[in-house]
Structure 1
């Protein structure tokens, strides 16, 4: 698909949207904590309530299951407090698994841990990457195109690596706001032809690309972006997102989606929310 091809979404009637059951990988925050600082949200000097983080995570898992999704769980590893953010662990498209190679030393062991889970669970087309990529944190599938973030974590060269591995067109987008260091904190996929995003998280050129591809996108306010409202998960009808993102909730409802507010305040202390906790396992 050429870069200039428009992915056109339309406003749909309420009730017309259909939820598609998904298979998702999650990791309990058993060893969660903020013990180092690799993004602006993290403050090791401030207390974290691990029990509350576990409760909020369990509520998210139960919500997914109540909506008809299948949840797989990878065992957490002591000493890897950010392993709860399963979206960063890999990218899975058509049953093919592109592993994650993390930029910061504090998280490097997560990549092999997640890749080992895939191998042990029967995935055969698995690639350990040459270049740094942080999984679905920066590689988001929209229809049959991958939107790929760069600027803070994922190496631009990883975009070409993903394109060669998956055999899908990859569109590069550059992030400029350190509070939105991963693409999935600044943009969410709503359906195969719809996204929502905060324009100011991107360079002017990347904003132009997004306008060209998604002229009917839901645009977030600075206030909704600041509460991680774009770190959301959609099954095509239900959109799970932080409950504080009230503007986005109203916009999504007007578009015919069913927005569901979620409380993950303890995990936000490490710079993560709904999507960060959720890795989609897309089969062939």
Structure 2
């Protein structure tokens, strides 16, 4: 029995560009609150339409990036490994996320002091392996610690383009042996690791990566992503996936898109541990 996808989102009531902590943010380029709300709602409704159960986190004034729930932490079975944000502007989100996860039955743990870790933004399972981005937000040594804590193989990948500051902006597992990625976001070693370890690796062009097409949400065989990636959509459909394009331009102003706006509470579809857990309970 396949479990119902379980996703955490946060309405964009207090979302806005209030500071600059990545190259996409510019306080002079304001977000449109009404448009952002419509775009967020369209993503929410599309997920519901695909059969997902969506939990809502209460927005908090003064935490504009709380809407990007993907950065809350990392879930592995019933463990929630909470993020330790690099920038002070986002550190106030941690107690909000910790409280929610504790209230919903997760064991909440943190990385050691000084070890920056930005959750599912930089840590993504593809099969049994945890692919881990580092440099701009998370630390390489932290990712090794995460692997030891979870008892899983971790492959650290250095990010080299500050526009793709989180792994989920340039890499998206779509099945336990398949992923999409933008090669220009990685160094030569990182590209070789991805090419060696993932059977089906779909290369995204620089133009389509710039539209945040890699920052996608996968629900079964459906891939929800920002509009502006027709080549990727065709390739996904050739492989038997359904591309679901959405307008998420208001969130790209802050450096996020569909994946950033969601957190899979039950584990990503591409994670083998989730599939095994589902089979065991079925």
So what's the TM-score if we normalise by structure 1?
0.90
Which residue in 2 is equivalent to 1:61?
44
More displaced stretch, 33-42 vs 114-123: 114-123
Tell me, yes or no, if the aligned pair for 1:103 and 1:153 is still in contact at 8 Å: yes
Which residue in 2 is equivalent to 1:28?
11
> Are 1:127 and 2:109 an aligned pair?
yes
Tell me, yes or no, if the aligned pair for 2:177 and 2:200 is still in contact at 8 Å: no
Which residue in 1 is equivalent to 2:270?
none
Among 93, 105, 125, the residue aligned to 1:110: 93
Tell me, yes or no, if the aligned pair for 1:191 and 1:235 is still in contact at 8 Å: no
Which residue in 2 is equivalent to 1:208?
192
Q: Structure 1 unaligned runs (5+)?
A: 1-18
Q: More relative contact order in 1 or in 2 (CA 8 Å, sep 6+)?
A: 1
Which residue in 1 is equivalent to 2:61?
78
Q: Distance in 1 between matches of 2:234 and 2:157?
A: 27
Aligned ranges 1:163-242 → 2 under 5 Å:
163-242=147-226
Q: Distance in 1 between matches of 2:218 and 2:140?
A: 26
What's the secondary structure of 1:179's corresponding residue? coil
Q: Distance in 1 between matches of 2:127 and 2:150?
A: 13
- Cα drift, residue 215 of structure 1: 4.3
- Cα drift, residue 250 of structure 1: 1.1
Q: CA RMSD in A?
A: 1.3
Q: Distance in 2 between matches of 1:23 and 1:128?
A: 22
Tell me, yes or no, if the aligned pair for 2:183 and 2:203 is still in contact at 8 Å: yes
Question: What does the per-residue CA deviation read over 1:24-48, in whole Å, with 9 as the maximum and x for residues that have no partner?
Answer: 1111111000011001110101221
Which residue in 2 is equivalent to 1:277?
261
Aligned residues: 265
Among 23, 27, 30, the residue aligned to 1:40: 23
Q: Distance in 2 between matches of 1:235 and 1:64?
A: 8
Deviant stretches of 4+, over 6 Å: none
So what's the TM-score if we normalise by structure 2?
0.91
- Cα drift, residue 21 of structure 1: 3.4
- Cα drift, residue 216 of structure 1: 2.5
Q: Structure 2 unaligned runs (5+)?
A: 268-276, 278-282
Q: Distance in 2 between matches of 1:282 and 1:160?
A: 23
Question: What does the per-residue CA deviation read over 1:228-250, in whole Å, with 9 as the maximum and x for residues that have no partner?
Answer: 00000112300001111111111
